[in-house]
């Protein structure tokens, strides 16, 4: 097992009063892994329950020393915020019978926070799984976070054991043309059956030719931007949302309105490595 990387967390807290506080997680080289502002309510700060001591305290700088004394709920919130970085996974079948390769477009590294301490790793373990390994195993697999990462549904799931991933992924992307087919009730019902826990669907508009061997980045399309001739994304989104929420649709889909995923439109670009 490789040695655990050292990291430090700077907590700008003074007696841990209620209010807004800045949380910064940095790597050993000083790179900022995560930076968030979090609100601590009086009720949370009065909580007496604590998780076991985080084992990073023995090796981290003194700026980390107060972290282990925070209430468990606050520590868990910090770890979850640190893990909440979206990465796009684009499955493919090209190497599904060769155990030297993964079956995804880009070999994303596991989140650095997973190596901070046992507590951080346990939080991460509860959020995801290893997938995209070949021959139905995790050999050469990649870590996928059910809550923050995005899985692109391009029809490459057949023949590969992706069940835990596609059934638990909260963020799913599909190409624009396929997304427009979700205006049909039976198509949308089929999508929900494949992705029962999906909370956000990304409608993908490629920019140029996508290189599926490189990392792919999504850029949000604003609601006043035109995506179909004279139609704005906001008008298209609202029309789809109204259709999905019709009483006859909800009855056919077998879901409550609160269970329907939200939709976002994004442009997709390949991020080529610097040479």
Whether residue 93 is found in the same domain as residue 78: no
Angle among Cα 157, 107, 217 to the nearest 5 degrees reads 85
Asked if residue 107 and residue 77 are part of one domain, the reply reads: no
Residue 109, C-beta contacts closer than 8 angstroms, at least 6 positions apart: none
Do 187 and 217 belong together in one domain? yes
Torsion over CA of 236, 183, 104 and 111, rounded to 10 degrees?
Answer: 60
pTM above 0.85, yes or no: no
99 and 113 assigned to the same domain: yes
End residue of a domain, out of 82, 115, 147: 82
Q: What pLDDT shows up at residue 248?
A: 96
Please report which confidence band the pLDDT of residue 261 belongs to, taking 50, 70 and 90 as the band edges. Answer: very high
Other Cβ atoms less than 10 A from the Cβ of 92: the count is 18
How many C-beta atoms surround the C-beta of residue 152 within 10 A?
23
Give all strands (DSSP E) within 7-106, no chain letters.
8-11, 19-26, 32-40, 88-89
pLDDT score for 184: 94
* pLDDT confidence tier of residue 21, bands split at 50, 70 and 90: low
- Indicate the number of domains in the chain: 2
Q: Could you tell me the residue range of the domain that residue 77 belongs to? A: 8-82
Q: Kindly report, residue by residue over 132-167, the tens digit of the pLDDT.
A: 766 555 566 778 889 989 998 876 665 455 677 888
Any domain includes 1: no
Task: Examine the domain organization and report whether 128 and 249 are in the same domain.
Answer: yes
pLDDT band at 29 (very low <50, low <70, confident <90, very high): low
């Amino acid at each position: 097992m490789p040695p655990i990387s050292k990291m430090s967390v700077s907590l700008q807290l003074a007696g841990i009063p209620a209010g807004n506080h800045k949380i910064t997680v940095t790597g050993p080289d000083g790179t900022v892994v995560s930076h968030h502002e979090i609100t601590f309510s009086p009720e949370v700060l009065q909580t007496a329950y604590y998780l076991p001591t985080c084992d990073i305290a023995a090796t981290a700088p003194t700026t980390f020393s107060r972290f282990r004394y925070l209430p468990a709920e606050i520590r868990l919130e910090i770890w979850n915020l640190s893990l909440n970085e979206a990465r796009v996974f684009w499955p493919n079948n090209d190497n599904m019978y060769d155990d030297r390769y993964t079956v995804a477009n880009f070999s994303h590294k596991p989140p650095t926070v997973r190596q901070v301490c046992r507590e951080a790793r346990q939080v991460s373990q509860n959020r995801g799984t290893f997938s995209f390994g070949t021959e139905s195993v995790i050999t050469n697999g990649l870590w996928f976070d059910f809550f923050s990462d995005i899985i692109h549904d391009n029809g490459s799931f057949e023949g590969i054991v992706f069940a835990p991933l596609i059934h638990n992924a909260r963020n799913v992307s599909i190409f624009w043309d396929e997304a427009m087919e979700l205006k049909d009730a039976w198509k949308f019902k089929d999508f929900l059956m494949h992705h029962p826990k999906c909370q956000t669907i990304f409608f993908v508009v490629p920019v140029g030719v996508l290189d599926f061997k490189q990392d792919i980045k999504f850029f949000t399309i604003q609601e006043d931007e035109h995506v179909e001739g004279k139609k704005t994304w906001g008008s298209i989104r609202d029309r789809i949302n109204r259709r999905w929420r019709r009483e006859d649709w909800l009855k056919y889909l077998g879901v409550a309105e609160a269970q329907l995923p939200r939709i976002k439109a994004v442009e997709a670009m390949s991020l080529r490595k610097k040479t």
